[in-house]
Amino acid sequence: MVIGQAPGLAAHETCTPWNDRSGNRLRDWLGVSRETFYDRSVFALMPMGFCYPGTGKGGDFAPRPECAPAWHDRLLAGMPKIELMVYAGSYSVNRYLQGRFRTLTDAVASWRELLPEEIALPHPSPRNVLWIKKRPWFENEVIPALRERVHEILDAG
């Protein structure tokens, strides 16, 4: 299960979640092809907000706050076989790991504590290149561990 923010404009226009540069980076981080990523028997994709929130000066607006409380529990109840929860970005990290970590960086850095059931990632947006460059441990440690876990699940299925 990948829980992200809200659809960006490209995803909104194509009715395909993660159908943009952020999705390309996320699939790379997961170590999966586009075909595998969009296979509903393999990946579940759920946003924090279910509609495109629009764009402001600093990028897309935040996901609408009523969406996750209204829908997530109901949707998750229908998916009992989730083996890994991937929280992509601060909105999902804050909702699902609330109070466990002081910052997004702390949550991401705690990957050893979270795996094998869950993992926190920064949003894979091109806007986060500086965050990634300042934290080489993310690509050197977290991404290989994430790929290994994803492929354990795929190989077992």
Q: Report whether the peptide linkage leading into residue 116 is cis, meaning its omega lies within 30 degrees of zero.
A: yes
pLDDT at position 154 is 97
Across-strand partners of 4?
Answer: 47
Give me the average pLDDT of each 10-residue run along the chain (157 residues): 94 95 97 98 96 89 95 95 97 96 98 98 95 98 98 94
User: Quick one: pLDDT at residue 67?
Assistant: 95
- CB-CB neighbours of 119 under 10 Å: 25
Domain ranges for the chain, please list them. 2-156
Count of positions (residues) in the chain: 157
CB 36 within 8 A of CB 43: yes
Q: What is the pLDDT of residue 20?
A: 95
φ, ψ (nearest 5 deg) of residue 4 = -110, -150
Q: How many CA atoms lie within 13 A of 108 on its CB side?
A: 22
Distance of CA 120 to the CA centre of its chain: 8
The top-level CATH class assigned to 2-156 is alpha beta
In this predicted structure, what is the pLDDT of residue 59?
84
